[in-house]
Structure 1
Amino acid sequence: MDFTLLDLIAFIGFILFVVAVSLYVSRDEKDSEDYFLAGRSLSWWVIGISLVASNISTEHFVGMAGQGFREDIGMAVASFEWIGALALVIVALYLLPRFLQSGIYTIPQYLEYRYDRKTRTLLSIFMLVFYVMITIATVLYAGAFALKEIFDTSLITGIWLIGLTGGLYTVYGGLKAVVWSDVIQGAALLIGGAFITYLGMKELGGLHQFIELSDGRLHTVLPLDHPTLPWLAVFFGGMWIPNLFYFGLNQFITQRTLGAKNIAEGQKGVLFGASIKLIIPIIIIFPGIIAYELYGDEIANGDAAYPVLITHLLPAGLTGAFFAALFGATMSTLDSLLNSAATIFVIDIYKPFINPDGSQKQIVRTGRIVTFILMILACLWAPVVNQFEGGLYLFLQLYWGFIQPGVVAVFLMGFLWKKVPSGAAFWGMLLNIPIYGALLFFIPNIAFLHHMAITFVLIMIFMTIFTRLRPQQHPSEIPIFNQSDHKNSRLVKNWSIAILIATICLYIIFF
């Protein structure tokens, strides 16, 4: 697709604006709290938009829309968003107050307070490896794939273009640069996605025609024996495990909530993000379904559904604007991942083991160096994602299952049972890998969400037996950094109830 002069101006102007704002807002950083947690100064609306912008990227526009294109899944993939919104309610009400009150920089840090340093370090290593090998690589590949489909660039060129652009301002600016770039790019993402949905509906003949033609793909509740998203796993089983991990125990997402001004601002920010997630399927999955109805005969790979829709529907002059929004969607997730991975390395590995007496200047400098190194490693690894045949979104969800059930079990048991010892937590997380891998290998014909649920239950049983045999004698002392009252306000409670009711209504509408 050829760029007009207006396209080129829109694209370059948007990217320069994002970079300039990111560098400007982070110009006064003085210490590690400024660099890694934005000085704990973030307001609720910034947290909410940044959370969504970091979560939603081209692996959604490519991968989730691709699942919508598929006849056997369609709208059912929306459950990852809607169950995710309910998981965010749990995060706001129960998890976030604990984390903010303890004053942690990273999620693994909490495990040292509850268990020991060995358990904290294990989770830190897990997160670093999976961020680089799975999530960052998928984000880079998905962005490059979209650019290739729309603008005929090579995959390698796209990967390095996205990686260098998003990585370099993250190296300089830290979390403050990340969240403000997310605000700009998140708004562009939502507006651009809504516009594509509108154009697709118009081309198809309106909402009534869309519903009539796509009825078979508009059901969110799939049969019990469905190979990917059976209703039992969605509502009562494995679907909850990746969502609770992703939105509550995942440094990549929770870092902006840890930078909140106070507990109330953090809670409102999480609920604001949950509210936005309820509408995400309309601007991502609907276009995948529309692409099938309009251009299904020319789309061999479902992951190409959204890019094909863009190439057919965008009027002249708007290509550059949407290119910038798509490019920004990838950068908003990439910058968050890089910053979070660097935070984990510096706070959980470098400072405790390599340089315990390091100055604030040394810590920040190390964070910048690590961010750059991780960016290079991810760009080199990203092309490998192309070898997975199940689609990008499934790749992302499937392979995180090697650690998610164990991490959720360790935190849940640690919250609920004071006698759980560090050995139960450490070995519980390690057991996740062989248990989940064995289930995938020996029982391949059931949904991977069932694999997650079975793994979770087995780890819970193991931790219970371990605790009965070797209970912790003295309860762990969790430090209290924030002394403010963290009882949930009436606004937070009412907002949470509203999200629950809205989610139920969406499931009824798309039953």
Structure 2
Amino acid sequence: MDSASVPFAALDYIIFGVYLFIIIGLGLWVSREKEGRQKDSSDYFLASKSLPFWAIGSSLIASNISAEQFIGMSGSGFRVGLAIASYEWMAAVTLLVIAYFFLPIYLEKEIFTMPQFLEQRYDGRVRMLLAIFWLLVYVFVNLTSVLYMGGLSMNIIMGLPLWGSIAGLALFATAYSLYGGLKAVAWTDVVQVVVLVGGGLLTTWVALDAYGGSSTGPVGGLTQLMGDASNRFNMILFEGELMYQNDEGVTQDAYQLLPGLSVLFGGLWVANLFYWGCNQYIIQRALAAKNLQEAKRGLAFAAYLKLLLPLIVVVPGIVAFALDAPIQRGDEAYPWLLGQYVGTGFRGLAFAALVAAIVSSLASMMNSASTIFTMDLYRNYVEEEVSESKLVRIGRIVALACIVVATLVAPQLADLDQVFQYIQEYTGFVSPGVLAIFVMGLFWSKATPNAALVSAVLSIPLSAAFKFLTPEIAFLNRMLIVFFVSVALIVGISYVENRGETHPKAIDLDDVEHDSDPIFQVAAFGILGITAALYVIFW
């Protein structure tokens, strides 16, 4: 057993077992259909388009927050500090942009998937290419990394074998989501987000209390931490300001991960707009909303939760750094802290929070991958006149196949240092070109299918070329450069093809309903104000 692992007491197992029973039971219960009625594609892939704002917001966060954040972002917090929280705080602002500008168009088009939108705006070639891109990213980047980091946490905390832990997480996610589809995922996420936020805050509270000593409490512990590790509480990092050692003992500049003001005005916008506005397993919740008003409010609710999350997923990593944790990998920081400082009973709840984050993301990715394969590839290119019941059956088979492949690949990530950065950089090979296609398709009437296709095809080669030819450029800045190159390609090719004429499939923005909801507007001003204050405080 690993030296950092701490055996669970009987009470911990009971608490964790109760959580497993509730999630699986709830997932199966909400998946039921009335007698004589079978699920159709809208039920399975879009939860019957019935989700209220609080279910949308909860499911967005539960799907987004996973081992990638609990383990990966805490690992980055251990190495580079609070600056990594920009991925959370800037995401809150990005959600408002998506809610106001992107969502009204998506919902008006009544789409199931992001590739389906691309066919409506461009053509079937763009749809097929992007569908294949997303399937590969979901299986070989997202699912595998979440499974690996979840398995790593169980290995460190409970001393379980890495392979067995990965397989167990995959089995749990499959048990409650495979039958019910998005409805099971979304409604269990309401419970999952309560568990992950509550249990996550508990871990931070206990860690800060231990750091500050019982006489000062968690607030005093945080104050002491900000003094002892002051260089880990800067949001904007400049070149040479913060050097750290990676797992191989090589000294690196944190600027390469978070390049100064680019986190506010540069490449992080490319990463966030792609993730929150063009990513099937995220935007699918909004597509399942009752209406536009509920969808926008759901994104605002999610944005408030994003502002809270660095306290849960970054601060523990900084505490582990200040405690000089005896760990070899940055991604071991959170499991080490959980095993060492969270007591009996509370450990079961805190670990349930971590597992809630993992399995909710796995279930979401499985469902979205199956949605893309079924609705974009199978129905379009294999069997156009397919029955609704067969679409659901194909969706289940594909979801199962995706999780099996990811389970086999996940252990191969064990040699990486900060898996969170691996996810960001290699997703960034695809995101600049894809975001350019969406932005120009949504808001520029002259963009042509051939221009979009070229942008999609060249996104990975361009990103790879910049990575290997200009390694001195931070990857967020490379993403921004590739995005602007992709936009320039779309503009140039479209003008050559169309001679400046509006494309027949262009979106008429004047016809798009925007819904002036005062509750959303007030919520949006609050989010912007809090985000600005956080950056002023931790500049």
Same fold (TM over 0.5): yes
Q: 2-side partners of 1:430 and 1:485: how far apart? A: 33
The one of 390, 396, 407 equivalent to 1:362 is: 390
Q: Which residue number in structure 2 is paired with residue 194 of structure 1?
A: 201
Aligned to 2:257: 228
Whole-angstrom CA distance in 2 between matches of 1:27 and 1:17: 16
Contact kept? 1:15, 1:328, Cα under 8 Å? no
TM-aligned CA distance change 1:484 to 1:394, over 3 Å: closer
- The question of whether the paired residues in 1 share the 8 Å contact of 2:441 and 2:506 is answered with no
Q: Using a 3 Å threshold, how does the CA distance of structure 1 residues 438 and 44 change in structure 2: closer, same or farther?
A: same
Letter in 2 for 1:19: I
The one-letter code matched in structure 1 to 2:261 is L
Q: Does 1:500 align with 2:528?
A: yes
Deviations 1:366-405 (CA, angstroms, capped at 9, x unpaired): 111111111111101111222333x110011000011100
Q: Report 1:317-328 matches (<5 A).
A: 317-328=345-356
SS in 2 for 1:231: coil
Q: Tell me what 1:421 maps to.
A: 448
Long gaps (5+) in structure 1: none
Which one-letter code corresponds to 1:298 in the other structure? P
Does 2:373 align with 1:345? yes
**Distance in 1 between the 2:416 and 2:349 partners?**
31
**In structure 1, C-alpha distance between the alignment counterparts of 2:388 and 2:54, rounded to whole Å:** 29
- Which of 476, 490, 498 lines up with 1:449 in the alignment? 476
Structure-2-length-normalised TM-score: 0.91
Task: State the secondary structure of the residue aligned to 2:181.
Answer: helix
Instruction: Give the Cα separation in 2 of the matches to 1:302 and 1:485.
Output: 47
Paired residue for 1:375?
403
Shift of 1:192: 0.8
Aligned to 2:247: none
Counterpart residue number, 1:33:
42
Shift in alpha-carbon separation, 1:177–1:479, aligned structure 2, 3 A: farther
How far residue 297 of structure 1 moved from its aligned partner, in angstroms, is 4.6
Q: List aligned pairs for 1:462-473, cutoff 5 A.
A: 462-471=489-498
Letter in 2 for 1:11: F
Does residue 149 of the first structure (1) align with residue 176 of the second (2)? no
**TM-fit CA distance, 1:290:** 0.6
* CA contact 1:58–1:143 (8 Å) conserved in 2: yes
Match of 1:158 in 2: 165
Alignment of 1:10-29 (within 5 A): 10-28=15-33
Q: Partner of 1:241 in structure 2?
A: 270
Q: State the alpha-carbon separation in 1 of the partners of residues 7 and 44 from structure 2.
A: 40
Match of 1:333 in 2: 361
Structure 2 partner of 1:91: 98
Could you say which residue in structure 1 is the equivalent of 2:281?
252
CA drift at 1:4: 2.2
Q: How far is the alpha carbon of 1:233 from its aligned partner?
A: 1.6
| SS of structure 2 residue aligned to 1:415 | helix
Q: Which amino acid is the alignment partner of residue 210 of structure 1?
A: L
Quote the Cα distance in structure 2 between the aligned partners of 1:476 and 1:358: 29
CA distance in 1, matches of 2:337, 2:381: 50
Q: How does 1:224-303 map to 2 (within 5 A)?
A: 226-294=255-323, 296-303=324-331
* Aligned equivalents of 1:232, 1:435: Cα separation in 2: 23
> Deviations for 1:294-336, whole angstroms, at most 9, x for unmatched residues?
2x15122111111111111111233322222222210010000
CA contact (8 A) 1:264 1:486 kept: no
Aligned length: 505
The whole-number CA distance in structure 2 between the counterparts of 1:22 and 1:173 is 7
Backbone CA RMSD of aligned residues? 1.6
Kindly provide the amino acid, as one letter, of the partner of residue 492 in structure 2: I
Q: Structure 2 counterpart of 1:279, which letter?
A: L
The match for 2:215 is none
The residue type equivalent to 2:11 in the other structure is L
**Aligned: 1:66 with 2:75:** yes
Which AA in structure 1 matches 2:389?
A: K
Aligned 8 A contact 1:75 1:217 in 2: yes
Provide TM-score, normalisation by structure 1.
0.96
- What's the counterpart of residue 114 of structure 1? 121
More off after superposition, 492-501 vs 337-346: 492-501
Q: Give the gaps of 5 or more residues in structure 2.
A: 1-5, 213-219, 241-254
Distance in 1 (CA, whole Å) between partners of 2:101 and 2:443 is 12
Is the CA contact (8 Å cut-off) linking 2:448 and 2:503 kept in structure 1?
Answer: no
Are 2:438 and 1:411 aligned? yes
State the shift of 1:178 in Å.
Answer: 0.4
Change (3 A) 1:451 1:474: closer
Structure 1 residue 494: Cα displacement: 2.1
Matched, 1:211 2:226: yes
Q: 1:297 to 1:418 in 2, by over 3 A?
A: closer
Change (3 A) 1:297 1:416: closer
Task: Give me the whole-angstrom Cα distance separating, in 1, the residues matched to 2:503 and 2:413.
Answer: 44
SS of 2:267's equivalent in the other structure is coil
CA distance in 2, matches of 1:381, 1:173: 26
Q: Which contiguous aligned blocks of 4+ residues in structure 1 show a shift greater than 6 angstroms?
A: none
